Amino acid sequence: MDVAAINQLAAEQLAKAESAESGRSSVTVYSRPGARLRQTLMALTAGNVMGEHKSPGDASLLCIQGRVRLHAGDTELELAPGDLIAVPPQRHDVEALEPSALLLTVALH
């Protein structure tokens, strides 16, 4: 059984995002052949937007560090550290209001 040091991974990915031209960085935390679940830690620099996209399946987003705004249709929600949300099934985007680290969990079908 492996233990993922999420706060350490978040700090590492934020450092990578700061030095990346895209202002983003990510690492897969959990995934294995045949698994029905994937977890990815993502980091975004302040002002960076993950453009509008649709979720590949049931998913949740946990804010580890920073603050982000999720836009989905006419709905806009702000997430702070410790906030967890079910990702809406409609097209959405995520905007980093400050340097942020997020844990995305996706159910694979």
Output 24 or 50, whichever has higher pLDDT.
24
pLDDT, position 47: 94
Average pLDDT along the chain: 89
> Is the pLDDT at 40 greater than 90, yes or no?
yes
How much is the average pLDDT of 78-86? Answer: 96
**Interior CA angle at 101 toward 72 and 7, to 5°?**
145
What is the model's pLDDT at position 1?
Answer: 60
Considering only the C-alpha atoms of the chain, give the largest distance between any 2 of them, rounded to a whole number of Å: 42
- What is the distance between the alpha carbons of residues 65 and 62, in angstroms, rounded to a whole number? 9
SS3 7: helix
Residue 90 is predicted with a pLDDT of 78
Sign of CA dihedral 72, 59, 85, 50: negative
Residue 55, pLDDT score: 66
Domains assigned to the chain: 6-107 (2.60.120.10)
Cβ 68 vs Cβ 94: under 8 Å: yes
